Amino acid sequence: MPIDFEIGGVYLPPITQALLLAIPIFMVLDWGLRRLGVLRRVWHEALFEGALYACVCATLILLMGA
């Protein structure tokens, strides 16, 4: 079971931890997809990036629960 972390007197629940951890992972994936030219073939780039971030967050949440 994930635990709450305290940073400067502020408790971070597991969902916030997953959302913050997903940012650098998403940025690396986004950079890689841009370098490969995948995002040029996507119909709506912002929608694709939002879905990618949601997938990364969901994966981290599932991994944290295991």
Give the integer Cα–Cα distance in Å for 25 and 2: 19
pLDDT at residue 59, rounded to an integer: 95
pLDDT at residue 37, rounded to an integer: 93
pLDDT at residue 66, rounded to an integer: 56
Q: Where are the domains of the chain?
A: 12-65
Which among 62, 60, 66, 50 is positioned nearest to 17, based on CA atoms? Answer: 60
Give the integer Cα–Cα distance in Å for 54 and 49: 9
Residues (pLDDT < 50) of the chain are: none
